[in-house]
Amino acid sequence: MNTLKTAMLLTSLTLLMMFVGEYFGGQNGMVLAFLLAAVMNFVSYFFSDKIALAMYRAQPATREQLPRVYSIVEQLAYKQGLPMPKIYLLPTESPNAFATGRNPKHASVAVTAGILDLLDDEELEGVLAHELGHVRNRDILTSSIAATIAGAITLLAQMGRFAMIFGGYGDRDGRERGGGSIGALLMLILAPVAAMLIQLAVSRSREYAADASGAELTGNPYALARALQKIDAYSRRLPMDATPSTAHLFISAPRLRASDLAGLFSTHPPMEKRVQRLIGRDRI
Q: 3-state class of 281 per DSSP?
A: coil
Q: Residue 86 carries which DSSP code?
A: E
CA distance 29 to 151: 21
Q: Residue 105 carries which DSSP code?
A: G
The catalytic residues are 131
Among residues 65, 62, 103, 109, the alpha carbon closest in space to that of 85 is found at 109
CA distance 24 to 31: 12
CA distance 179 to 169: 6
Phi, psi of 263 (to 5 degrees): -65, -40
Using CA atoms, how far residue 47 sits from 100, 111, 145, 147, 198, in Å, is: 10, 19, 9, 11, 18
Report how far apart the first and last C-alpha atoms of the chain are (Å, whole number). 35
Q: Give the strands of the sheet with 86-90, arranged side by side.
A: 59-60, 86-90, 107-112, 97-101
Q: Residue 254 carries which DSSP code?
A: P
Among residues 196, 212, 199, the alpha carbon closest in space to that of 275 is found at 212
CA distance 132 to 93: 22
